[in-house]
Amino acid sequence: MTVPQTLQQFLLGELKDHPERYELVMMMADIATIGKLISARTNRAGLTELTGLAGSTNVQDETQAKLDIYANDLCKNYLRKTGLFAAMASEEETDVVDLKNPGARYVIAFDPLDGSSNIDVNIPIGTIFSVHKKLEGVPAGDARQFFQKGRDQVLAGYVLYGSSTMLVFSWGEGVHAFTLDVDLGEFLLSDAHLKIPAAHPYYSFNEAYGPFIAEEDRRYLDKIRAQTGSLRYVGSFVADIHRNLIKGGAYVYPAIDTSGQGNFKPKLRLNYEAKPMALLAEQAGGVALADGVAILDIVPNELHQRVSVRIGNKKLMKEAS
Ligand code: AFP
């Protein structure tokens, strides 16, 4: 009989081998707790009047769901108390939030609840996080704290609230996946070193945008379609990336022009969507590109900057480009 390893045991093992990772280990424990709290809320969303819209919009002019606001407030208040973070950036916050922890050495970017338009219909959603070292000589609340390239992330990952809740993260030495055992209240190790399989059955692209993409993306998608075979698209970035990490394939979200004026605009956010997923994809043996450049090499110049995204199997994506 195999005995599953708990997240706590895994983290203590890391600490033994890498005492210098003490703060990162503490962060992972805290983020796991946040994940458990949001998971419990999302499971009860329909029972606790947490479905539906809050009647407000965020900085990107997107309507906020009640759970978006709950998750954002929870991340903000919980992370402030840990004392580990100097500042936080969030999809739901216009500006950087100075967490007023003067000695803290890290900053964190969050999408507290990715895919929130799916909450009311019981489709998987997630929390995405990306951690950098705090820049010395730059005020904690300054947006420049988040103008750091993805390759300098010290920790990144997501919590997926799906048919089960999963925590997937990397601190640059592979990708580690845990599944929440709800009865025990513990995350248990599912895969110590997750790797994207060589097979690539799926492509993920919102086909409704087909008429609005650039010619080069159209050609690329034709090749991807031909080499994959099946379309899978949830419309929650976390769920779509998670599936493709486990099953293989390519996720493509190009810039869109609905105006017909050649004004192509990407949608996904660099700091708290593309960068963390790019780290996981590369660590799992895959590739993550924006306009032909590795997403991890892009230095953001805006807090809520958006990028086009191609994430998936290396060979598949190379052959299609
Ligand atoms: P939210 O966090 O605002 O719900 O973001 C959702 C999202 O950015 C991402 O999770 C999805 O992959 C994408 O939107 C789906 O949107 P489309 O309807 O444009 O395909």
pLDDT digits (tens, 9 = 90+) for 230-285: 999 999 999 999 999 999 999 999 999 999 899 999 999 999 999 999 999 999 99
pLDDT at 121 over 80: yes
Closest CA to 316 of 257, 244, 268: 244
Confidence (pLDDT) at 89:
97
pLDDT at 63 over 60: no
Q: What number does the ligand 1 atom closest to the CA of 206 have? A: 20
Give residue 68's pLDDT band: very low, low, confident or very high (50, 70, 90). Answer: confident
Query: Do the strands 125-133 and 106-114 form a parallel or antiparallel pair, or are they unpaired?
Result: antiparallel
Confidence (pLDDT) at 141:
96
Q: How would you list the strands of the sheet with 309-312, edge to edge?
A: 230-231, 202-204, 249-253, 309-312, 287-290, 293-294
Residue 236 CA, ligand 1 centroid: distance in Å: 6
Confidence (pLDDT) at 46:
60
Contact 277, 216 (CB under 8 A): no
pLDDT at 50 over 60: no
Contact 156, 130 (CB under 8 A): yes
Closest CA to 97 of 76, 81, 78, 82: 76
pLDDT at 161 over 60: yes
Q: Which of 64, 70, 113, 117 to mutate to test the pocket of ligand 1 (most atoms within 8 A of CB)?
A: 117
Taking the C-alpha atoms of residue 111 and residue 97, their distance in angstroms, rounded to an integer, is 14
Please name the residues in contact with 37: beta carbons below 8 A apart, sequence gap of 6 or more: 74, 78
pLDDT at 65 over 80: no
Q: What number does the ligand 1 atom closest to the CA of 234 have? A: 12
Q: Lowest mean pLDDT: which of 44-58, 141-155, 184-198, 211-225?
A: 44-58
Which residues have CB under 6 Å of ligand 1? 62, 91, 111, 114-117, 206, 235-237, 240, 267-268
Q: Which of 236, 307, 309 to mutate to test the pocket of ligand 1 (most atoms within 8 A of CB)?
A: 236
Taking the C-alpha atoms of residue 122 and residue 96, their distance in angstroms, rounded to an integer, is 31
Taking the C-alpha atoms of residue 22 and residue 33, their distance in angstroms, rounded to an integer, is 17
Confidence (pLDDT) at 57:
66
pLDDT at 313 over 70: yes
Q: What number does the ligand 1 atom closest to the CA of 267 have? A: 8
Residue 245 CA, ligand 1 centroid: distance in Å: 18
Residue 280 CA, ligand 1 centroid: distance in Å: 19
Give residue 62's pLDDT band: very low, low, confident or very high (50, 70, 90). Answer: low
pLDDT at 55 over 70: no
Mean pLDDT of 284-298: 97
Residue 115 CA, ligand 1 centroid: distance in Å: 5
pLDDT at 140 over 80: yes
pLDDT at 2 over 80: no
pTM: predicted TM-score of the whole model, two decimal places: 0.94
* Protein residue closest via CA to atom 18 of ligand 1: 235
CA 267, 273, 276, 279 torsion-angle sign: negative
pLDDT at 30 over 80: yes
Give residue 192's pLDDT band: very low, low, confident or very high (50, 70, 90). Answer: very high
* Protein residue closest via CA to atom 16 of ligand 1: 235
pLDDT at 49 over 80: no
% of the chain surpassing 90 pLDDT: 86
Taking the C-alpha atoms of residue 112 and residue 76, their distance in angstroms, rounded to an integer, is 10
Give residue 165's pLDDT band: very low, low, confident or very high (50, 70, 90). Answer: very high
Residue 267 CA, ligand 1 centroid: distance in Å: 8
Give residue 67's pLDDT band: very low, low, confident or very high (50, 70, 90). Answer: confident
Helix, coil or strand: residue 28: helix
* Protein residue closest via CA to atom 4 of ligand 1: 115
Confidence (pLDDT) at 54:
60
Residue 172 CA, ligand 1 centroid: distance in Å: 26
Residue 271 CA, ligand 1 centroid: distance in Å: 15
Residue 20 CA, ligand 1 centroid: distance in Å: 36
Q: Which of 237, 265, 305, 309 to mutate to test the pocket of ligand 1 (most atoms within 8 A of CB)?
A: 237
Mean pLDDT of 55-75: 75
* Protein residue closest via CA to atom 17 of ligand 1: 235
Give residue 43's pLDDT band: very low, low, confident or very high (50, 70, 90). Answer: confident
Give residue 61's pLDDT band: very low, low, confident or very high (50, 70, 90). Answer: low
Average pLDDT of the residues of the chain? 93
Residue 252 CA, ligand 1 centroid: distance in Å: 13
